[in-house]
A and B are shown apart, each in its own frame.
Chain A
Amino acid sequence: MLVNFFFELRKGGVPVTITEFLTLLEALRAGVAWASVEEFYFLARTTLVKDERHYDRFDRVFAEIFNGAQKLFEEIVANVPDEWLQALAARTLTEEEKKKVEALGGWEKLLETLRARLQQQRERHQGGNKWIGTGGTSPFGANGYNPEGIRIGQAGSRNRRAVKVWEQREYRNFDDTVELGTRNMKLGLRKLRKFAREGAADQLDLDGTIDATARNAGMLDLKLVPERRNAVKVLLFLDVGGSMDDHIRICEELFSAARSEFKHLEHFYFHNFLYESAWKDNRRRFSAVTPVTQILRTYAHDYRVIFVGDATMSPYEITQPGGSVEHWNKEAGSVWMQRMTATYPRLVWLNPESPQRWEHTASVRITRELVQDRMFPVTIQGLDSAIAALRRPMGRAGWGTLMRASEPPPPP
């Protein structure tokens, strides 16, 4: 049973190792948790899950396995002869509780309701919605009857509460496929940092000082080094207007996160696709434009380039001269994009649309080809992959290949 649980967890995407599993067994043997599913659930979670983002996956697997056991039990209960239950109740119930049972219409009625309820529940399971209804026999809880065990008169309510704990799926938000806030973005972007010492030498270099002093026959010889600074340079291109209005919030967050993380950050706006010019201020987008040729000239090829846009438009806006919706462009957008990728080998495109929709939009496919498959969704995982891609020059694996590689191999 537990080995099965272990493999189900791994299948469910919770990265559990054998060591952790052995720790769980060790804890069980030491008697940390016993005789309660709730305790077992808490113990298993604290030993096997090491990241709150995986809590939700863990809960799902746990519910699956627990429900399996529960379903089996319900079938048994539904087939138990009435006399058995009555005999058991007579043995374990107090006088007071028996009176309560009578108040609810006597045993016959109670059992009938229970049967009907169980039947209903099984049907609901068959209907495929396993998240609701497992704890639904609550009227019986008052009498100490609960479908998780025939513990008449015992503290069974604890169990029912536990069912809720993992079925509520309160940790849903923490799964790392959800979109992220500024803090998470900053953390993601921070991985791009590259430290270099530059500027005035104003920090004591202890190792150097000791070394120099020793060479100096013990007379102090102070050595100083410049402070370490983040030396990464970033060019950010943001799509504004049109279909991007739905994603304004996430773009703002990304922009503010990037602003605070990089000293050398230059940003430009464009509409739908990059043509011969971009602009820095949306209020003066027609009067103060920067020609892209000037951008290509000004910023050296060691700049990392991040495009943010949904790349959702008519394919002609990319492939045809004059395709732009706003003005007459002499050269097609794809030509300008090729110039960008040629100048900046470290370039990615972040797409706030969900990857499921990418395949169905022709313009997204074309853009992906133009950036050599370096298009990533704006999720924690996507941002991480994008940053990883930015660390090496073009020509290596993009999001599509990464996703294919991370899929588990087919069963033999």
Chain B
Amino acid sequence: MTERFAGTDRYIATDDLMMAVNAAVTLGRPLLIKGEPGTGKTQLAQEIARSLDRPMFEWHVKSTSKAQQGLYEYDAVSRLRDSQLGDARVHDIANYILKGSLWEAFESATQPVLLIDEIDKADIEFPNDLLRELDRMEFYVYETRQLVKARHRPIIVITSNNEKELPDAFLRRCFFHYIRFPDEATLQRIVEVHYPGLKKELLAEALGAFFQVRETPGLKKKPSTSELLDWIKLLVAEDIDPQVLRSQDPKKTLPILHGALLKNEQDVHLFEQLVFLNRRVR
């Protein structure tokens, strides 16, 4: 084993995440990543590709996606149109086979990284339809009677937001990692990576306020890492003095520029109520 993924200058990986990635890379198994939204699941694949210097293929799954679309699609409608227009292309069916991301990854000259993003968005049968493809890294094109085999087993990263249960047979074939919400020390490193040279006090105050917001019971959507990064960006852009953050008692006022942290009106409302109550108690 020559290469090991150890995070990058833009991405802080915890020990357990590194282990999961390295195990998946070494054994050539897909890696299934779950976690709260905004903890960098999708970014992980991009950073693996960048740090190991591999080409990257992405397949973003939607609720209408079919497993077949990742392999290839047969464009019957344009063939039909061509046949009615008398186009010569119509005689070769291969002209109407559109390659999917999985096929392109299989054809890559060096070992690629393939991201299958948000697999839980698709139909419940979707993962089952990919079992053989992920296991043997090959599939059959019926229209042209051709077997497509991976030249190099791609490093496959699959992300899920837990909206659907994934079938057991599928899980058996994957390595699994759950990205936990980072603790304060890790979060500090993450912010440092994104905004190097940020004023120490500002960072400390911002993190303090952020965790306080996160721990408020009853929030509908807890702010996550990506929201924190956006918020800090705003704080820096507005040149907020750390003094202002400190002097603000989060129990008495809404956090400054809260729009970046609280993403729905119920949560803002909840905060306003808490503030109101706290003021009244005093």
Give the interface of A toward B (CB within 8 A).
15, 17, 19-20, 23, 26-27, 30-33, 38-39, 42-43, 45-47, 49-52, 55, 165, 170-171, 174, 187, 206, 210, 213, 218-220
How many positions in chain B have a CB within 8 Å of any CB in the partner chain? 30
Contact among A27, A31, A33, A46 with B176 in the assembled complex (CB-CB below 8 Å): A46
Smallest beta-carbon distance B165→chain A, Å = 8
Kindly state the separation between the CA atoms of A55 and B26 in the bound complex, as whole angstroms: 23
Give the interface of B toward A (CB within 8 A).
1, 15-16, 19-20, 22-24, 26-27, 29, 32, 34, 76-77, 80, 83-84, 163-165, 168, 171-172, 174-178, 180
Q: Which residues of B contact A47 (CB under 8 A)?
A: 23, 175
Kindly state the separation between the CA atoms of A45 and B176 in the bound complex, as whole angstroms: 8
A to B CB contacts below 8 Å, 18 in the list = A23-B29, A26-B27, A27-B23, A30-B1, A30-B27, A32-B22, A32-B26, A39-B19, A45-B16, A46-B177, A50-B32, A50-B174, A55-B178, A170-B180, A174-B178, A187-B165, A218-B83, A220-B84
A46 touches B27 (CB 8 A): no
Main secondary structure of the interface of A (DSSP, over half): helix
Kindly state the separation between the CA atoms of A55 and B35 in the bound complex, as whole angstroms: 13
A42 touches B27 (CB 8 A): no
A46 touches B26 (CB 8 A): no
Smallest beta-carbon distance A16→chain B, Å = 10
Smallest beta-carbon distance B136→chain A, Å = 15
Q: Which residues of B contact A17 (CB under 8 A)?
A: 172
B174 touches A187 (CB 8 A): no
Q: Which residues of B contact A206 (CB under 8 A)?
A: 76-77
Least CB separation from A17: chain B residue: B172
Closest A-B pairs by Cβ, 5 of them: A42-B19, A50-B171, A52-B178, A46-B20, A42-B16
Q: Which residues of A contact B29 (CB under 8 A)?
A: 23
Q: Which residues of B contact A31 (CB under 8 A)?
A: 1, 26
Q: Which residues of A contact B77 (CB under 8 A)?
A: 206
Q: Which residues of A contact B180 (CB under 8 A)?
A: 170-171
Kindly state the separation between the CA atoms of A176 and B29 in the bound complex, as whole angstroms: 27
Q: Which residues of A contact B168 (CB under 8 A)?
A: 15, 50
Smallest beta-carbon distance B175→chain A, Å = 5
Least CB separation from A162: chain B residue: B15
B164 touches A187 (CB 8 A): yes
Most chain A CB atoms below 10 A, which of B16, B23, B163, B172: B23
Kindly state the separation between the CA atoms of A386 and B171 in the bound complex, as whole angstroms: 25
A42 touches B172 (CB 8 A): no
Kindly state the separation between the CA atoms of A206 and B16 in the bound complex, as whole angstroms: 47
Kindly state the separation between the CA atoms of A269 and B157 in the bound complex, as whole angstroms: 48
A210 touches B76 (CB 8 A): yes
Q: Which residues of A contact B175 (CB under 8 A)?
A: 46-47
Least CB separation from A207: chain B residue: B76
Smallest beta-carbon distance A142→chain B, Å = 20
Kindly state the separation between the CA atoms of A45 and B80 in the bound complex, as whole angstroms: 52
- List 10 additional contacts besides A46-B19, A206-B77; criterion CB under 8 Å: A15-B168, A20-B172, A31-B26, A33-B19, A46-B176, A51-B171, A51-B176, A165-B16, A187-B164, A206-B76
B16 touches A46 (CB 8 A): yes
Least CB separation from A19: chain B residue: B172
Q: Which residues of B contact A210 (CB under 8 A)?
A: 76, 80
**Given the known A-B contacts A42-B16, A46-B19, are A187 and B163 also in contact in the complex, defined by CB atoms under 8 Å?**
yes
Smallest beta-carbon distance B86→chain A, Å = 11
Smallest beta-carbon distance B38→chain A, Å = 15
Q: Which residues of B contact A174 (CB under 8 A)?
A: 178
B83 touches A43 (CB 8 A): no
Contact among A26, A32, A213 with B80 in the assembled complex (CB-CB below 8 Å): A213
Smallest beta-carbon distance A23→chain B, Å = 7
Smallest beta-carbon distance B170→chain A, Å = 9
Kindly state the separation between the CA atoms of A46 and B27 in the bound complex, as whole angstroms: 13
Q: Which residues of A contact B34 (CB under 8 A)?
A: 52
